[in-house]
Amino acid sequence: MHGALQINPYYGKTSAKGIKYHLDAAMEYGPAVIYNVSSRTAQDISPEIVEHLAKNPNFAGMKECSGHDRIKHYADQGILCWSGNDDECHDSKWKYGGHGVISVTSNVLPGVMRRLMDTQDDALNAKVLPFMNWLFAEPNPIGLNTVSAMTGAAQPVFRAPYMPYDLDKREEVIELLSGFKDWEIQGERRPIAMDDGDFKVLADWARGVCKVKEDYDGKRKF
């Protein structure tokens, strides 16, 4: 691989010294972007820690979810920093010195996200924000997996404990994406609401794989 995205230990929280040790050790294997997402890990990777990590020759930059000010702090020091918040990425790039975004939305609207990073476009940013908010109404990747099934970009298969959005949320995204062209939306079709029974949730992965393959043989490769 060309590089890795590395997070701090989650649940097994440690000290600042321990985070430094953990991420330095991970970078011994090759280039890494360090990912700070305290909403999932419950522990911030502070600027003091990042400034230490940035001395490592395999440090490739930050994916930062703590907002504009943190991104600006790193940009001012010449540390490459990608936004981890889709809804903030346009302003982080054009107003706070961010390098770009590592995006969820780009899996559905790749060209739109490319334009937001290539050109400052407040109108386009405002247009896509409601869809971004829909994607994160429940924890990622629930929204992404749901809409990807709706557009035919992926099979409607979830692995527990992830559960697809309810029908009302699925109907909502059809309207949210109505302003985008067919070619802007990743998948085989414009999104359709689908029935609840169209989605499969695998509680037992090994048995579920065999069943899903049986169900989908001849329709689409598993």
Give residue 59's identity as a one-letter amino acid code.
F
Reading the block at residue 91, the tokens are 């302003």
Is there a catalytic annotation at residue 63?
yes
Could you say which of 10, 11, 29, 63 is catalytic?
63
- Name the residue among 197, 198, 185 with its Cα closest to residue 151: 185
| Residue 210 to residue 206: CA distance in whole angstroms | 7
194 three-class SS: coil
Could you say which of 20, 35, 74, 165 is catalytic?
35
Is there a catalytic annotation at residue 35?
yes
**127 alpha carbon, distance to own chain's centre:** 19
| Residue 222 to residue 218: CA distance in whole angstroms | 10
**Furthest-apart CA atoms within the chain: distance in Å:** 55
Tell the burial category of 110 from Cβ atoms under 10 Å away from its Cβ (0-12, 13-18, 19+).
middle
Reading the block at residue 143, the tokens are 């929204």
The partner residues of 36 in beta bridges, in order of sequence, read 64
Q: What is the DSSP letter of 152?
A: T
The residues carrying an active-site annotation are 35, 63
